[in-house]
Chains A and B, each alone.
Chain A
């Protein structure tokens, strides 16, 4: 079973910008595209853990602020020629609110 957690109002995320969600164990960046699509990703670049939340977003890609790697927010993968991947989290927007699945599904099943 999947559990959705309400995290933020959509309006509170700037268009082409991010907000940080801090849980006890993790820091997640939620992004809002110019089409209001929302993405959630572990706030650590696969390169050297740069805070992706602080990067510049374009389309569904984020450019890391530290060394300009580009990460696909849909999959968490670095765009070629770089290689690496960061965790992404399922997101949904209902009404004016953004919900996340904070636990990756696998963890729940094995718990």
Chain B
């Protein structure tokens, strides 16, 4: 097949990112040609600020060198500006006469610095701050001259001023407003920023209106509207950017502020032509930060690869200032209005300021100064629209106060030694990760996981890895986007897919994949397991379980061990047992030469080291002795832990053991989004640790406290109190209803703790406590789904189901 011709105009961050995404999806589809006006490969423009401050070198910020283009068979025309697009002939023509034919064209010409239209703006020594050439000129000027003026007190201007200051220049920042960075900061934060920059020697002229650039051929100073004149040998204008649309306009593509594109990043005038990056206007917005541009790149690549279903829907952005030693973060609407409330913390002594703007218990915006550790957390809560009422009183103190032991500040990451272990599961050190991030040019958490395995297992170090990523790559790090697709096979989210399954009655996995236009024929390990569960939950009586879409533990109904053998854990309802049962277990353990027996943390007995082919007969013996599977391997109801209770204990208020047995009889066998643990304690001494369980009951004299969303694992989380009830019957009803609500609402592999933090306790209270008919309906649906679920899988297999799964085929050879 003849390859299609793809031409990219603009060798910058957005354009080349699109190519990288495209090469991942459809490496063979296009013959690619790139035109770039700058005489370099592709580099990380964001890092020009650290280069100016001598914290990085040009070599260190190169993203793709000539070898990369060669290895991917991309023709690169460096230093060639395209000056004409002939749409009728589908050709682009560069200034030197080079012509390239295209079937598809991407325009990614970025933007130009906006130069104030004042007299003298074209003198030598007046620069913008956009590319390597500008940085070279500034560095050169700093070695010859002394005085610099930066016009513009926004992000870019302050980064430029900081760099020039580091080069030993005497720098004044001129700003038209009365506070710095007014688009990112409120007044108190801006004031703190100004103070710390002044402490470094930066000078400020606020509310100053530039009238004229003075000098003959080269600049000698600036005159302001009020008549004031200030000397300068270098003037950097950083007052804004202008989408670079001249080329697109000249070929008749519809432009407003930027080139107007649709949700698949095609220009609305010509679907053969895509436009992405800063030159673009999407749904009225022209973005100037890389995170949204990278999302656009993904969508465009997806469309070019003819997967065709991704849509760009706009991005919420956040800001950081890359001035070493100054911590600053802002996102969203941080000013607020008469409908919003704000919580503020200020300690001018240590230079910390935090403000969060709330509306209806959701975060609308935030400004952090001095301590920005929780910036990405607030940002995520804001994008997710999380209801924060449950932890509003500690919100300002940050995520660490939620008992999130996995979270660690970026500033702390910075002080760690290279040999410090970040990921305990995979033994990955800080140095390894930082090295991979720089050498392999990783931008996202997923990429770091794939390359280093850090945080790829239990995930408790995710916070640290994200911080390290932010610390190493600076402002370009884009936090996980809001609409996270279920997996790489689809662009739809868990919620969209779950709702679609019910709404369109999609009752098989192929039907779901078909409806949502999956990109892979069979899906992948994560999505197959998730879909299998979602279907089972939606259609408990109709859906036929797919064993091939379950992790081996659930397929073989045992826990796979590191040596490939399995463990066997029979259920002991409520941890209660008889001497006869213990004798039976002992006999069976002897019969199968079980090498090790252990009492588990879940109050039952674990037998280790069983070869797979012996499982069915061992289960048969257990089944005959009256045991069923403990589902110790499953995303399912695990254990119901109990304490002694009123029957024996001198403090017991209710029969916690008996109630625990009843709850386990009610819930065993139920498949869940993740594992689910219950406990019942007989009094508030809480010996069964009910307040770190998914559903915990604490008996009190007057009844039963019901607690939900606890977790004793990777991140300890104490339960939230759901409500108090009076009878055992009510406990069972609330327990069943809560379980069913979790089953129907949570994402696959999301335990109750993160689920509650995501959706908010209020939503759960409304569904279960405040709405009796809804509670009843949930409970009924739970009971219906339990009928087919409470069949002991061990007995089924012992009776011959899936026998092939367990018996290998012996071949004489």
Contacts and interface: CB of A to CB of B under 8 A. Distances in A.
A15 B457 contact: no
A19 B808 contact: yes
Contact of A19 (B457, B804, B813): B804
A27 B551 contact: no
B26 to A, nearest CB: 15
A90 interface: no
A16 B548 CA distance: 6
Nearest to B813: A23
Residue from B457, B520, B564 whose CB has the most chain A CB atoms within 10 Å: B564
B548 A20 contact: no
B813 A5 contact: yes
B88 interface: no
B552 A55 contact: yes
Interface in B250-274: none
A63 B549 CA distance: 12
A34 B811 CA distance: 26
Nearest to B524: A58
A22 B813 CA distance: 9
Interface in A17-76: 17, 19-24, 27, 33-34, 48-51, 54-59, 63, 65-68
A63 B551 CA distance: 10
Contacts of B804: 12, 14, 19
B810 interface: yes
A54 B808 contact: no
A27 B611 CA distance: 14
Contacts of B520: 58-59
A84 to B, nearest CB: 14
Interface in A76-99: 81
Contacts of B809: 7-8, 19-22
A10 interface: no
Nearest to A32: B548
Interface in B484-537: 520-525, 528-529
A9 B148 CA distance: 81
Residue from B450, B556, B808 whose CB has the most chain A CB atoms within 10 Å: B808
A7 B456 CA distance: 37
Residue from A19, A34, A54, A57 whose CB has the most chain B CB atoms within 10 Å: A54
A14 B556 CA distance: 14
B564 A15 contact: no
A59 B522 CA distance: 6
B728 to A, nearest CB: 41
A65 B450 contact: no
B643 interface: no
A81 B549 CA distance: 24
B656 to A, nearest CB: 37
B451 interface: yes
B564 A56 contact: no
B562 interface: yes
A7 B549 contact: no
A93 B522 CA distance: 22
Contacts of B523: 58
Nearest to B447: A81
Contacts of B529: 56
Interface residues of A, number: 34
Interface residues of B, number: 29
Contacts of A50: 564
B808 A22 contact: yes
A63 B528 CA distance: 12
Interface in B529-564: 529, 547-549, 551-552, 555-556, 560, 562, 564
A34 B521 contact: yes
Contacts of B552: 54-56, 65
A46 to B, nearest CB: 15
A76 B291 CA distance: 37
B23 to A, nearest CB: 13
B562 A48 contact: yes
Interface string B563-605: 0100000000000000000000000000000000000000000
Nearest to A34: B522
Contacts of A57: 522, 548
Contact of B525 (A8, A23, A63, A81): A63
A21 B576 CA distance: 42
Contacts of A14: 547-548, 804
B352 to A, nearest CB: 40
Interface string B781-813: 000000000000000000000001000111111
B524 A102 contact: no
Contact of A54 (B528, B556, B813): B556
A22 B612 CA distance: 13
B560 A66 contact: yes
Interface in B63-119: none
Contacts of A56: 525, 528-529, 548-549, 551-552
Nearest to A55: B552
Nearest to A22: B808
A91 B103 CA distance: 42
A8 B808 CA distance: 11
Contacts of A54: 552, 555-556, 560, 564
Contacts of B813: 5, 23-24, 102
A22 B520 CA distance: 32
A78 B813 CA distance: 28
Residue from B451, B560, B808, B813 whose CB has the most chain A CB atoms within 10 Å: B813
Contacts of B524: 58, 63
Nearest to A79: B450
Contacts of A21: 808-809, 811
A20 B808 contact: yes
Nearest to A28: B811
Contacts of B548: 14-17, 56-57
A102 B552 CA distance: 26
Contacts of A48: 562
A22 B494 CA distance: 41
A58 B528 contact: yes
B811 A58 contact: no
A8 B810 CA distance: 10
Nearest to A102: B813
Residue from B549, B556, B562, B809 whose CB has the most chain A CB atoms within 10 Å: B809
B811 A22 contact: yes
A57 B552 CA distance: 11
Nearest to B522: A58
Nearest to A20: B808
Given A16-B522, A22-B811, A65 B451 contact: no
A14 B451 CA distance: 33
Given A12-B804, A27-B808, A58 B525 contact: yes
A16 B510 CA distance: 14
Contacts of A49: 564
A81 B457 contact: no
Contacts of A33: 522
Nearest to A13: B804
Contacts of B560: 51, 54, 65-66
A7 B811 CA distance: 7
Nearest to B457: A67
B547 A17 contact: yes
A57 to B, nearest CB: 7
A14 B522 CA distance: 14
27 contacts: A5-B811, A12-B804, A14-B547, A17-B548, A19-B809, A20-B808, A20-B809, A21-B808, A21-B809, A21-B811, A23-B810, A23-B812, A24-B813, A51-B564, A54-B555, A54-B564, A55-B525, A56-B525, A56-B528, A56-B529, A56-B551, A57-B522, A57-B548, A58-B520, A58-B525, A66-B562, A81-B451
Interface of B: 450-451, 456-457, 520-525, 528-529, 547-549, 551-552, 555-556, 560, 562, 564, 804, 808-813
Given A14-B547, A17-B547, 10 more contacts: A7-B811, A22-B808, A33-B522, A51-B564, A55-B525, A58-B525, A59-B521, A63-B525, A65-B551, A65-B552
Q: Give the 7 A-B residue pairs with the shortest CB-CB distance, closest first.
A: A20-B808, A54-B552, A56-B525, A63-B525, A16-B548, A65-B552, A58-B522
